[in-house]
Amino acid sequence: MSTEFDRADNLHRPPLGAAVTSTTRPLIVTPTFVSRVDDTPRGERPQDPGASKSRHGHEVHFPNWRPHALALESDPNLAFEHWDEYWRKVHGPKFAWDEPGSSSARVLRYDQVHRIASGPSSAFPPPYRAMVDDNGRLPTDPERRVPPLRRPRWDGFAYIAYADEADIENTLKQEKFAERVVADEQVAFRMVTREITREYILIASARHRDPVSLVKIHMRAPGLSREEFQRRMLDEHAPLVMAQPATREFVRRYAQLHNIGSTQADPEGSRIDAVSVLSFASLNDVEDYLVSADHAAIEASESPLLGEGSEWWTGINYSVINRLVPELATAWR
């Protein structure tokens, strides 16, 4: 593997990147959920002030009226592909690169999880069944029967881990992050959450290069405090998940992220009480896991705890920074 590109992000992860001492104590994670810049009306997807920048550096307030003005991509037909490529291939290396006077050394791990429409989601879960008429035949008029798209709220999230909460401010207050990385976010994202969580790694990854993640965004049921919800998720629900044979067969990594605050005013992120991330070797493994009887038991345990706004979806996982090798399970009991 070439090492001649001193600004490449592969210098920040194995086998080229230097590892630090792994730990069994909870890490601090900023699970930054993002929605992509596109021409969706603001009434359908909110937009952060200053986001969805034009080529002149100004916010495009109504991107559905002026998609041609968006700096990222002026052709709505190409917006998703261009955004997906930009986040991984342009924004990720910008975040990882230590420009003169800056350092990302306090970032222990940075993964990008890109939601993919073809993966399972709460809006369209498996099993996927053939569309047939009363005689068991495929319809001759499929153009009349196309299911509506129910797009999840978020298009992905940045999974960024630190040893301590103070490391977040010490990193993000650097001029590179505060000015240039945030400016880049305003080109690529229309909304970004800023929550801070405590991470509990329940099943550690053998390599932390698992390609597929099932992301569950949890908002607690009415009548539950955040503290009680998080306690039940960790002390009662997590052991049930780990005890299932299907979990042992398919799940490569399992972590819960418990919301403990935010880096700024964050009305969207503040509604999220916890996030579960389960990693797999393939999309088919996710699908087989979700249709198993074991996962039905997991859903029966989870559903009473969840309230409106909860969603789950599948994403492709890219490791940008990883200084934690090997990964260790959290000592949480």
Cβ atoms of 114 and 84 closer than 8 Å: yes
Cβ count near 191 (within 10 Å)? 21
Q: What is the DSSP letter of 10?
A: G
The residues, ordered by sequence, that sit 6+ positions from 18 with a Cβ below 8 Å of its Cβ are 323
pLDDT band at 5 (very low <50, low <70, confident <90, very high): low
Report the distance separating Cα 199 and Cα 30, nearest Å. Answer: 9
Q: What is the DSSP string of 159-179?
A: EEEESSTHHHHHHHTSHIIII
Angstrom distance (rounded) from CA 155 to CA 220: 21
Count of CB atoms situated within 10 Å of the CB of 221: 15
Q: Which residues of 297-318 are buried (b: 16+ CB within 10 A; e: fewer)?
A: ebeebbeebbeeebbbbbbbbb
Question: 73 vs 38, 69, 107, 159, CA distance in Å?
Answer: 8, 8, 30, 25
Model confidence band, residue 18 (pLDDT cutoffs 50, 70, 90): confident
Look at residue 267 in the predicted model and tell me its pLDDT: 86
Please name which of 93, 195, 111 lies closest in space to residue 161, comparing C-alpha atoms: 111
Q: Is the pLDDT of residue 1 over 60?
A: no
Angle at 209 between CA 127 and CA 18, to 5 degrees: 165
Q: Which residues contact 34 (CB under 8 A, 6 or more apart)?
A: 87, 154, 155, 156, 157, 158, 185, 188, 189, 191, 192, 193
Distance between CA atoms of residues 44 and 46, nearest Å: 7
pLDDT, tens only, 264-282: 888 888 999 999 999 999 9
Q: Give the C-alpha separation, 121 to 176, whole Å.
A: 35
pTM given for the model:
0.94
Q: What whole-number distance in Å separates Cα of residue 75 and Cα of residue 62? A: 15
Tell me what the mean pLDDT of segment 113-118 comes to. Answer: 96
Q: Six-digit token pair at 60?
A: 């495009």
CA dist., res. 47 & res. 54, Å (int): 14
Alpha-carbon 212 to chain mean position: 11
Mean pLDDT of 224-250: 97
Task: Output the pLDDT for position 3.
Answer: 55
Q: Is 41 exposed, middle or buried (0-12, 13-18, 19+ CB in 10 A)?
A: exposed
Report the C-alpha gap between 256 and 119 in whole angstroms.
Answer: 21
Strand partners, 159: 31, 111
**In the structure, what pLDDT confidence band is assigned to residue 16 with cuts at 50, 70 and 90?**
confident
Most confident among 135-139, 144-148, 288-292 (mean pLDDT): 288-292
User: Nearest Cα to 47, choosing from 197, 196, 185, 217?
Assistant: 185
Model pLDDT, residue 266: 85
